[in-house]
Amino acid sequence: MGPRTDGPPPIKKMILPALFVGALFYVSFTRTPDGPQQMVLQGEALGTTWTLKVAGESQPDREDELRAVVEKALSEVDVSMSTYREDSELMAFNRSDGLEPFAVSDLLGKVLGEAVDIGFTSGGAFDVTVGPLVNAWGFGPDKERTQPDRQTLESLQSRIGHDKLELTPNGITKDHPELSVDLSAIAKGFAVDLVVDRLVAAGAENVLMEVGGEIVARGENPNDHPWRLGIETPTETGREVHHVVALRDAAMATSGDYRQYYEVEGRRISHLIDPRTSQPIEHRLASVTVIADRCSTADAWATALSVMGEIDGFELAEKLQLKAYFIVRNDTGGFSTQSTRRFNELR
């Protein structure tokens, strides 16, 4: 989808947290042959892995049907929004240097519309044009760990900005010929939404779908209870559950800086770049988990709040009545947590 960034250890965005969540699924819901039935399917797409659980399903002939539903939806997102496919719709827009409206599909237009809206609502903390800055700080395909100078950053700023992208009835426009879009902070969430919508239409009522750590739950687990998911403790090593969430008919996404970073002369260089300052984030916020009706919304807001930090991000999350859970580094090397009122209402 977007830049396959990594830091020590070399891990792609959210893949290991996703696998950890998947392991938690298995521990929580493995049953004997006489227990509740559940179908489990797995695969790879969009540069990451996916896992589907369908409670109450056990017929082998349904496996092929539902796998086809998942793979078709993920393929549509890949063809539309990938930045690793030269033939994708998004890359065609990025290559265009004209300032006239560029016609896009309903699929891409929907994602771009939400991305622009969240960009404005977050005051620019969420920005799908930030890719050149991410690359400049060493988190692009070349992975050159060099710190860009002021002149380079100022030059890049001329073609960065959520306000330089506009949706019109005739398509999307850019106000700088070199502006490009990377949807990696929202497209996986959208992909999960699309998959689950298609699965429900195919008759799967109790579904847990995960793509690269972005999750949607519909209905109930095999024991007729909400799906239970673990939020990971944001440490560089090991896997540990920090908080357990009961999820029913909702989506969940987490963003954090605890694996993708490098250090230069004692300075921690995070892969999360603040588009408003052109600088990597340097606050104490380690991770944010957002729960929303749609996974694209949770995905984008988790990124936006991570960029904003534990003070400004929490204040905005409360103002917008988001369901958000913040894990913050403290002076003793441990963590403290804070959660919004809406998150605390979850049962």
User: Residue 130 sits in a domain of what CATH number?
Assistant: 1.10.3980.10
Asked if the structure places residue 51 within a domain, the reply is: no
Asked if the structure places residue 324 within a domain, the reply is: no
Asked if the structure places residue 35 within a domain, the reply is: no
Task: Average the pLDDT over 118-122 and give the result.
Answer: 98
Q: How far apart are CA 150 and CA 295, in angstroms?
A: 36
Q: How far is CA 195 from CA 104, 113, 202, 235, in A?
A: 21, 19, 11, 31
Asked if the structure places residue 124 within a domain, the reply is: yes
Confidence at residue 35, expressed as pLDDT on a 0 to 100 scale? 53
Of the candidate ranges 112-116, 125-129, 134-138, 141-145, the one whose mean pLDDT is the lowest = 141-145
Confidence at residue 147, expressed as pLDDT on a 0 to 100 scale? 85
Handedness of CA 281, 183, 117, 325 (dihedral sign): negative
Domain that holds residue 126: 88-174
Tens of pLDDT, residue by residue over 170-201, are 999 999 999 999 999 999 999 999 999 999 99
Tens of pLDDT, residue by residue over 40-89, are 999 999 989 999 999 987 667 789 999 999 999 999 999 999 998 999 99
Asked if the structure places residue 157 within a domain, the reply is: yes
Asked if the structure places residue 200 within a domain, the reply is: no
Task: Average the pLDDT over 264-293 and give the result.
Answer: 91
Asked if the structure places residue 11 within a domain, the reply is: no
- Phi, psi dihedrals of residue 63, rounded to the nearest 5°: -60, -50
Confidence at residue 23, expressed as pLDDT on a 0 to 100 scale? 34
Q: pLDDT-based confidence at 143, cuts 50/70/90?
A: low
Please check whether residue 253 is in contact with residue 214, taking contact to mean a CB–CB distance below 8 angstroms.
yes
Asked if the structure places residue 115 within a domain, the reply is: yes
Query: Angle at Cα 332 formed by Cα 229 and Cα 326, nearest 5°?
Result: 35
- Burial grade of 331 (CB within 10 A; 0-12, 13-18, 19 or more): exposed
**What mean pLDDT is reported for the chain?**
87
- Strand segments (E) across 257-306: 261-264, 267-270, 273-274, 279-280, 285-292
Choose among 295, 311, 307, 270: nearest CA to 218: 295
Question: What's the structural domain count of the chain?
Answer: 1
Q: How far apart are CA 113 and CA 66, in angstroms?
A: 29
- Omega of the bond prior to 141 within 30 degrees of 0, cis? no
Handedness of CA 70, 180, 145, 307 (dihedral sign): negative
Task: Average the pLDDT over 139-153 and give the result.
Answer: 82
